[in-house]
Structure 1
Amino acid sequence: MRSYDFAPLWRSTIGFDRLFDLVDAAARAGEDNYPPYNIERLGEDRYQISLALAGFAPDEISVTAESNVVTIEGSKSDKAEREYLYRGISARPFKRHFNLADYVQVKSAAFDNGLLKIELVREVPEAMKPRRIAINGAPAGNVQQLEAKAA
Structure 2
Amino acid sequence: MNTFRWACWICVLGFFAPAWAINKCTDANGRVSFQDAPCTGKGEKIEVRPSMQGATPVQAPSSVTSEGAFGPTWQRKNFLQTQGIPQARMAVDRNQRECAAQGDVVAQAGPLRRGSLASGNQFAQEGAEKAADSKSACQARTEALREQLQSLEKELAAL
Flag the structure with higher strand content.
Answer: 1
TM-score, normalised to structure 1, is 0.24
Flag the structure with higher helix content.
Answer: 2
TM-score, normalised to structure 2, is 0.23
